[in-house]
Amino acid sequence: MKMEMICLEDEAFYALLDKVMAYVKAEFNIKEDKYISSIEAMKMLRIKSKNTMQKYRDEGLIRYYELSARNFLYDVDSIREFLEKKSRDTF
C-alpha cells in the first residue's frame, strides 16, 4: 500500500481547519455556547487555579455572570478578547 504525504504552510493548514470545523458544525447543527462554566473557562484559558479565575473576575479582565455565591458563567467572547490582548507577535 502506497502512502502519500501532503505538506501545507501554516496559514493554509489553519484555513483548512477553519473550513472543516465550519462544515462539521453546519452538518451536525452544532452551536457554541455563549456562556461557559468555570471549569470550561479555566480549560480555555489553560489555567488550573481557581484563585486566578477569582483574580480575573476581581480585576474585570473577563465578563462573568454570578448565578450564586460560588457559581459563575463566563462569556466566551470576553475570554477570546482577553487572550487576544495577551498575544504577542513574534519576530
Per-residue pLDDT at 56 exceeds 90: yes
User: How far are the Cα atoms of 3, 8, 25, 83, 85 from residue 11, in angstroms, in the given order?
Assistant: 24, 8, 21, 20, 21
Give a yes or no: residue 47 inside a domain.
yes
Give a yes or no: residue 51 inside a domain.
yes
Give a yes or no: residue 8 inside a domain.
no
What pLDDT, in 10s, does the model give residues 1-15? 888 988 888 888 888
Per-residue pLDDT at 39 exceeds 80: yes
Give a yes or no: residue 53 inside a domain.
yes
How many domains, in total, are found in the chain?
1
Give a yes or no: residue 91 inside a domain.
no
> What is the model's pTM?
0.63
Give a yes or no: residue 13 inside a domain.
no
pLDDT of residue 54: 94
Per the structure, the complete domain to which residue 68 belongs is given by 35-86
Kindly report the number of other CB atoms within 10 A of residue 57's CB atom. 16
Give a yes or no: residue 77 inside a domain.
yes
Give a yes or no: residue 52 inside a domain.
yes
Q: Residue type for 64, please?
A: Y
